[in-house]
Structure 1
Amino acid sequence: MFGTQDLALFVVSGLLLNIAPGPDSLLIMSRSAVHGWRSGSAAALGIGAGTLVHVLAAALGLSALLSTSATAFAVVKYVGAAYLVWVGFGMLRRRATAPGAGGGSGKVPALTHAQVFRQGFLTNVLNPKVAVFFLAFVPQFIAPDAEHKALAFIVLGCIFNFNGMLWCHFLAFATAYASRRVRPSQRVALWLNRLIGAVFVSFGLRLALGTRS
C-alpha cells in the first residue's frame, strides 16, 4: 500500500523508538509535571510539527545533504546544541515568583502554550540526528519497486509521527496525573525544573561533542 512494506513491523519498531527517552520526552515530562497536561501537550504538538519538517525534508532529499555534507551537519548540530544549552540555562536561572499574601513559597513562572510549542518544535527540528535517523530507518520499509518512493516516505513518516503523538500525549497526561497525586511543593517543583535544565545542558553538550553516528 502506497509503496510500503512490512508495515506492522514498522509500527511496532516506531513505537519502541518513540518510547526511548531523549530531549523530547524530557521536555514533555517537565512541562507536564510543573504546569499541567496542557503545557505538556503543547510541547508534544511542537515536537510533532518538528518531526513533520524532518519527514518532508527527507522526502525532498534535503536531509541527504546532512548525511553527506560534514559542514551542513556540523552547522545544524551546533545550532541545535546551542539551543538545548540555552533552554537548559534558562531553566537553571528561573526563579520562583514573589510569595503570595498567605506567605507560601512562590511558583515556578509558567510559559505560554505558544512558547512551549516553540520549545518543542525547535528542540526537535534543530537536532540533525533526527534527520539522519529518518534517512536510515524509514527507507527500509519502502518497497524496492515502489513507483512513488517520496510518497511512500511521507506516508511512513506520518504514521511514525502519529504513533509518536499518541505516546507523547500519553506521557503528558501520565506525568501530569502523577504530579497531581504526589503534589510536590513549589520549592521541589522549582528544583526539579532546575535539575531538568541541567540535563538539557548535558544533552546539548553531548550533541555538540558527539559524532555523526
Structure 2
Amino acid sequence: MSGTALATWTVVALLGVMTPGIDTKLVLRHTILGGGRSGLAVVGGIAAGCLVWAGASLAGLTALLAASTVAYDIVRIAGACYLVWLGLSAIWKTLPRNRTATGDRLDAVDVNGLTVRSGLRAGFFTNLLNPKVGVFYISLLPQFMPVGPAATAWGALLVAIHLAVSFVWYPALIAIAARVRGVLLRDRVRAGLERVTAVVLIGVGVRLATESR
C-alpha cells in the first residue's frame, strides 16, 4: 500500500469522525451533563463498537449487511429503538419529580445517570446497532487494502488509524465542552439542554427506522 493511499484513508477517517452525527451528539451530551470522564467513556464505547464492526468486516461478515435487506433492516430497527429509548429516558429524568436540586444547580451525574458506565454502554451500543457503521467498513475498507496475504495486516492498520483519529478529535471536543459546562449545568439550562438532545436522539431514531437503504 502506498503512502498516498494511507494519507487518503486518514483524510476520509478524519472527515467521517469530524462530521457531526449521533456520535458527536452523544459525546457532547455526556460531557456537558455528566462530566469529562463520562464523555471520554462514550468515546471508548464508540471505539469498541467500531472494533466489532471492523473485525466483522475483516472476517467478511458485514458483507451480509450489504447483501441482505432483512439483516440490514433488523440491525437498523434495533438501533432506532435504542436511540428512541435513550431519548425517552432522558426526557423522563428531566421531569420535576425525578430531579434533585442542589442549591442553584443540579447534580447532573446523579440525576441523569450519565456515568462512565452509561457512557461506555451508550457509545458501544449506538455504534454496534448502527448498520451504517458496518456498511462504512465493508464499502470503504476493502478499497484501501492491497490484495494478497498482507491484506489483513493492512486492514488492521487502517482501522487503527480510524480509531486514532477518533481519540484525537473527540477529546479535543470534550475539552472545549468542559470549559462551558459550568454555565450549561444551571438548573433551567441543563433541563432545556437535556430535552433538546433527547428530542434529537428520538428524531435520529425515527429517521433511522423509516429511511430506506
TM superposition score normalised by structure 2: 0.90
Consecutive unaligned residues of structure 1, counting only runs of 5 or more, are: none
Q: Is the 8 A contact 1:4 1:152 kept in 2?
A: no
Does structure 2 conserve the Cα–Cα contact (< 8 Å) formed by 1:4 and 1:156? no
Displacement of 1:186 after TM fit? 2.0
DSSP 3-state at the match of 1:21: coil
Identity within the alignment, %: 34
- Aligned partners of 2:106 and 2:178: how far apart in 1? 20
> In the alignment, is residue 142 of structure 1 matched against residue 145 of structure 2?
yes
> C-alpha offsets along residues 108-163 of structure 1, whole Å, 9 cap, x if unaligned?
414321121111100111100110011111222112x3323233222211211111
Aligned-residue offset at 1:107: 3.6
Alignment of 1:168-187 (within 5 A): 168-180=170-182, 182-187=183-188
Q: Give the AA of the match of 1:70.
A: T
Query: Structure 1 pair 105/19, CA: closer, same or farther in 2 (3 Å)?
Result: closer
In structure 1, the partner of 2:123 is 120
> Which position in structure 2 is the counterpart of 1:130?
133
Do 2:33 and 2:114's aligned partners in 1 also have CA atoms closer than 8 Å? no
2:77 aligned with 1:78: yes
User: Does the aligned pair in 2 maintain the 1:4–1:146 contact within 8 Å?
Assistant: no
- Check whether the contact 2:84–2:205 (CA below 8 A) recurs between aligned residues: yes
CA RMSD of aligned residues (A): 1.9
Gaps of 5+ in 2: none
- Work out the number of aligned pairs and report it: 207
1:31–1:40: 8 Å Cα contact kept in structure 2?
yes
Higher helix share: 2
Deviation at 1:89, TM superposition (A): 0.7
Q: Distance in 2 between matches of 1:112 and 1:179?
A: 16
Pairwise CA distance, 1:98: 2.6
Q: Distance in 2 between matches of 1:114 and 1:184?
A: 21
- Contact 1:66-1:73 at 8 Å conserved across structures: yes
Aligned residue type for 1:134: Y
| Residue equivalent to 1:14 | 13
Counterpart residue number, 2:55: 56
Query: Aligned with 2:20: secondary structure?
Result: coil
Residue 158 of structure 1: aligned partner: 160
1:50-105 residue CA offsets vs partner (Å, 9 max, x unmatched): 011110010011100011011111111100110011001111111353334x5x35
